[in-house]
Structures are given as structure tokens and as C-alpha cells.
């Protein structure tokens, strides 16, 4: 599994060197184990191989950070990302480790409000809160942060973040025509150049092909898990699948792939043996919309403790992250860069206009995963997803699938959401 585990005092030394606020960080780490235990460990009959992901989570600020430090000591770089649009392949090919930085809990909201308006997406406020409170060893390990002009909130947030750390902002186009594709291709090349500059290492064909394979293998494993979630009754819970998606952004990709495939082997067997999780058939729910960054498990937990199973996440912490593969066939840098650009431009985020692809993909998922109801996860003030909910709802209505629109942030509104989710489930039971 991981290399030799360090002692607690070694972690504190490492965090100190990263200029982490130890007291605030202790507070944060103290909250997580009981929450994790409540949401995950309380599940009956979990697959044994989930233990790897549980362990990774328990060491998410420990061993994994130590790996980043070791990598940097050996001359590598660490690059932070905030979106599924950041091409991991380029980061890997430039001797980098890519780490996801979006944050899923309210941290230092008052401090963040000195820079950002109160009425803003909780994910962005949290990202800045983690930085300001100095409780995120990932961001403090980063040599470069990569942003994209996705939504207004993030686009303008990166300007403020850029005063605190090096940020490279890729311009993501807003349509998907020919000019847009050309622009995006040049942005992919500009990022490659920036990464080469930061890492002092040229990206070559062999390295990039290798990186593409590593990233695709990870996606293939995640897709394999998704396929297994078509089982009815289910062999894995939606909460566990969400945890795996969240961990995918920060774990070592090669090891993650091995471990996820081992889990899938176990799930194959369980399916063959008729071993399910959570007992008999339950309503199958798809969660659709905004991402759920670690440790945001609220909605999945509410749905699954209300008697349904989440069979699919149509989110960036879900299938939007791994649906598409990069073409592995080109044998020259230009061809590989284009293949990367093409792959990432396929992502059907609501920031694009028009975004009919997403509607078609949602209908396809509803069909393929035999979905009974959709819960639309809208983070407060996320205009692209909150507005696109109208088109999604309309399409689902036409398909005869009920949708519950839940606008929420990182506050504790589980009770109200549960009432609404239960009403939805009664409709489809």
C-alpha cells in the first residue's frame, strides 16, 4: 500500500514546514473521523476492498502529503487544480503530481468574506477559506495552481488567489465550434509550456504517451466501477462510489487504479454470488449537477439513509470526470496535445452554451442505469447549474422521470433535504 507510515510527530513537523496553522488544522482533522464513521463505516456489508479508500481518506493530510514532499525533494513539482478541465496528463508528463483543491467544507468563512462576496458558491468560498486558514497541506505544497475560465465565480476568484500564489489560468471557450477548439488547443499548449518552465523539464512524446495511458487507465477503472453500479440490487453504495471519485483527484493515479480494479474484482464476485449492499431493491437515484468536493457527502448520505441508492453521479466528482478517454494513438507531440484538447472539450459542463450534450447524456444515463428519480444538486449561487436545471427538469419530465431540485451549500440542512427526498421517493416507490 503506502510506503512506511510516519509517526504523528513527523506529520506535525511536515505540516509546520508547509506553514500549516497546526491548531486550526487539528480542529479540522478532529471533525472528520466521526463524520466519516457516521457516513461510511456505519454501512452494513461494505465490500472489504473499500478499506483502501478508507485508509487513503484517513491519511489524506498525512501519508499523501508526505509523498508530495518526497516527490518535490526528488525534483518533481506539485500542481493544484480546481476543475475537471485541468489536463492531468500534461502535469504528469512534466514530472508533476496533480492534486485537486476544491474544498467541500466551510472553513474560515469570515476570512474569505474579506475578499469575496457573501452570496457566492460555497465551493469557491471554501477554497479560499482553506488557503487563508492555512489548513490545506495540498495547496501549500503546490508549485503552480491551474485554473480555467469556467464560471464567473472561479474566473474572478483566480485573480485574487493569484495575489497569494502562482496561478496559471487557461481560457476555456464558452461554445464548442471550430474557433473554440483552436483556442482551446492553443491553451493546452500554453499550459504545457508553463509546466515545462515551472518543472524545468521538457514534455516528450514517450512521457506524454505514458501519462495519457496512466490517466486513461484510471478512467477505465472508474468506468468499470460505474458499469458495476448498474447491478440491481446494488453491489456498492453511492456514498462509497462518491468517496472513490473524490479520492481520485488526489491519490497516486497508478496505485489508485490498481486498488480500484481490485475492488471491482471483488464486486464482480459479489454480484455473481448475489451479495448486495443494503438489502433488497430500492429506488435508484441519480445525483446530477454541481460537484461534491471532499468532505461533502451530505446529499448522498441523506438519499441513501432515506431508503434509496445513488446509482450514478452526473457531476464532476462523478462521471463527468472520467467519461471520456484521450486518444492514445498519436505518436507526435502535436497530435497528443490535440488529442488532449479534444478530450477535455468533450466535458459537458453547464458553463458551455448551448449545452444540449449534457441533456442527452443525462437521458442516456437515466436509461442505462435504470434511474427512477434524479436529485439535482445545485450549489448556492452557481448560475450555470442552477439555470441549466430548467432544461434538465424539462427533459426529465418528458422522459417521465421525476426530479427534485436541491439548492444547498455546506451548512447543515440535512433535515429539510431529507423531508423533500422522502417525498420524492414516495412518488417512485
Q: Which of 156, 181, 224, 230 binds its own copies (CB under 8 A)?
A: 156
What is the grid cell recorded at 251?
491519490
Nearer to its own copies among residue 236 and residue 417 (C-beta): 417
Contact region with its own copies (CB under 8 A), list: 10-18, 146-154, 226-234, 419-427: 146-154
The C-alpha R_g of the chain, in whole angstroms, comes to 21
Q: Interface with its own copies includes 196 (CB under 8 A)?
A: no
Q: Which of 72, 391, 414, 422 binds its own copies (CB under 8 A)?
A: 391
> Per CB under 8 A, which of residues 229..248 are in contact with its own copies?
none
Q: Interface with its own copies includes 183 (CB under 8 A)?
A: yes
> Per CB under 8 A, which of residues 101..120 are in contact with its own copies?
115-117, 119-120
Q: Interface with its own copies includes 174 (CB under 8 A)?
A: yes
Q: Interface with its own copies includes 158 (CB under 8 A)?
A: yes
Nearer to its own copies among residue 150 and residue 250 (C-beta): 150
Smallest distance from the beta carbon of 200 to its own copies, in angstroms?
A: 25
Nearer to its own copies among residue 87 and residue 153 (C-beta): 153
> Per CB under 8 A, which of residues 327..386 are in contact with its own copies?
350-351, 353-355, 378, 380-381, 383-384, 386
Rounded distance between C-alpha atoms, residue 377 and residue 368, angstroms: 20
Smallest distance from the beta carbon of 351 to its own copies, in angstroms?
A: 7
Contact region with its own copies (CB under 8 A), list: 73-81, 254-262, 277-285, 387-395: 387-395
Q: Which of 43, 58, 165, 186 binds its own copies (CB under 8 A)?
A: 186
Note whether 222 and 251 are within 8 A (CB): no
Note whether 403 and 392 are within 8 A (CB): yes
Contact region with its own copies (CB under 8 A), list: 175-183, 278-286, 306-314, 324-332: 175-183
Q: Closest Cα to residue 78, out of 247, 217, 199, 214?
A: 199
What is the grid cell recorded at 115?
475578499
How many positions of this chain bind its own copies (CB under 8 A)? 44
Q: Which of 160, 198, 223, 363 binds its own copies (CB under 8 A)?
A: 160
Smallest distance from the beta carbon of 420 to its own copies, in angstroms?
A: 16
Nearer to its own copies among residue 132 and residue 211 (C-beta): 132
Smallest distance from the beta carbon of 149 to its own copies, in angstroms?
A: 4
134 — alpha (psi -120 to 50), left (phi > 0) or beta?
A: left
CA 416, 417, 418, 422: dihedral to nearest 10 degrees? 110
Q: Which of 149, 226, 257, 324 binds its own copies (CB under 8 A)?
A: 149
Q: Contacts from 338-343 at CB under 8 Å and sequence distance 24+?
A: 338/185, 339/212, 340/87, 340/89, 340/90, 340/188, 340/212, 341/181, 341/184, 341/185, 341/187, 341/188, 342/181
Rounded distance between C-alpha atoms, residue 331 and residue 334, angstroms: 9
Q: Provide the strand spans (E) within 166-276.
A: 167-170
H or E element: which one contains 38? none
What is the grid cell recorded at 135?
489548513
Contacts of 237 (CB under 8 A, 6+ apart): 43, 46, 277, 278, 304, 309, 310
Smallest distance from the beta carbon of 153 to its own copies, in angstroms?
A: 5
Residue 22's CB: how many other CB atoms inside 10 A? 14
CA 107, 112, 116, 117: dihedral to nearest 10 degrees? 70
Q: Provide the CA 212 distance to its chain's centre, in angstroms.
A: 19
Nearer to its own copies among residue 181 and residue 224 (C-beta): 181
Nearer to its own copies among residue 70 and residue 356 (C-beta): 356
> Per CB under 8 A, which of residues 263..282 are in contact with its own copies?
none
Smallest distance from the beta carbon of 352 to its own copies, in angstroms?
A: 9
Residues binding its own copies (CB under 8 A)? 115-117, 119-120, 149, 151-153, 155-160, 169, 171-175, 177, 179-180, 182-183, 186, 350-351, 353-355, 378, 380-381, 383-384, 386-391, 407
Amino acid at each position: 500500500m503506502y510506503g512506511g507510515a510516519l509517526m504523528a510527530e513527523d506529520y506535525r513537523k511536515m505540516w509546520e514546514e508547509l506553514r500549516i496553522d497546526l491548531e486550526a488544522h487539528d480542529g479540522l482533522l478532529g471533525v472528520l473521523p466521526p463524520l466519516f464513521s457516521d457516513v461510511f463505516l456505519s454501512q452494513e456489508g461494505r465490500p472489504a476492498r473499500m478499506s483502501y479508500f478508507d485508509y487513503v481518506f484517513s491519511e489524506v493530510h498525512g501519508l499523501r502529503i508526505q509523498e508530495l514532499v518526497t516527490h518535490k525533494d526528488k525534483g518533481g513539482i506539485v500542481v493544484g487544480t480546481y476543475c475537471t478541465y485541468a489536463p492531468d496528463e500534461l502535469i504528469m508528463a512534466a514530472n508533476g503530481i496533480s492534486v485537486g483543491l476544491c474544498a467541500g467544507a466551510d472553513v474560515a468563512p469570515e476570512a474569505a468574506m474579506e475578499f469575496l462576496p457573501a452570496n457566492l458558491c460555497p465551493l469557491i468560498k471554501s477554497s479560499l477559506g482553506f488557503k487563508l486558514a492555512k489548513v490545506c497541506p495540498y495547496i501549500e505544497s503546490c508549485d503552480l495552481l491551474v485554473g480555467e475560465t469556467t464560471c464567473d465565480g472561479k474566473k474572478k476568484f483566480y485573480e485574487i488567489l493569484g495575489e497569494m500564489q502562482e496561478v496559471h489560468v487557461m481560457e476555456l471557450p464558452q461554445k464548442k465550434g471550430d474557433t473554440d477548439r483552436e483556442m482551446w488547443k492553443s491553451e493546452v499548449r500554453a499550459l504545457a509550456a508553463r509546466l515545462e518552465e515551472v518543472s524545468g523539464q521538457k514534455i516528450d512524446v514517450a512521457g506524454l504517451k505514458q501519462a495519457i495511458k496512466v490517466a486513461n487507465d484510471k478512467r477505465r477503472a472508474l468506468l468499470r466501477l460505474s458499469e458495476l453500479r448498474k447491478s440491481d440490487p446494488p453491489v456498492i453504495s453511492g456514498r462509497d462510489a462518491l468517496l472513490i471519485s473524490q479520492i481520485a483527484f488526489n491519490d497516486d493515479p497508478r496505485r489508485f487504479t490498481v486498488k480500484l480494479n481490485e475492488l471491482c474484482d471483488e464486486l464482480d464476485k459479489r454480484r455473481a454470488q448475489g451479495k448486495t449492499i443494503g438489502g433488497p431493491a430500492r429506488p435508484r437515484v441519480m445525483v446530477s449537477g454541481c460537484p461534491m468536493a471532499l468532505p461533502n457527502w451530505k446529499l448522498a448520505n441523506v438519499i441513501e439513509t432515506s431508503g434509496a441508492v445513488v446509482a450514478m453521479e452526473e457531476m464532476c466528482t462523478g462521471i463527468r470526470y472520467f467519461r471520456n478517454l484521450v486518444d492514445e494513438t498519436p505518436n507526435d507531440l502535436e497530435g497528443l496535445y490535440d488529442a488532449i484538447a479534444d478530450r477535455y472539450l468533450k466535458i459537458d459542463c453547464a458553463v458551455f452554451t448551448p449545452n444540449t450534450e449534457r441533456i442527452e447524456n443525462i437521458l442516456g444515463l437515466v436509461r442505462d442505469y435504470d434511474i427512477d428519480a434524479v436529485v439535482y444538486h445545485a450549489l448556492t449561487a452557481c448560475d450555470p447549474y442552477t439555470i441549466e436545471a430548467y432544461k434538465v427538469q424539462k427533459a426529465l419530465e418528458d422522459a417521465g422521470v421525476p426530479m427534485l431540485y436541491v439548492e444547498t451549500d455546506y451548512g447543515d440542512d440535512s433535515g429539510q433535504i431529507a423531508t423533500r427526498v422522502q417525498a420524492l421517493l414516495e412518488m417512485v416507490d
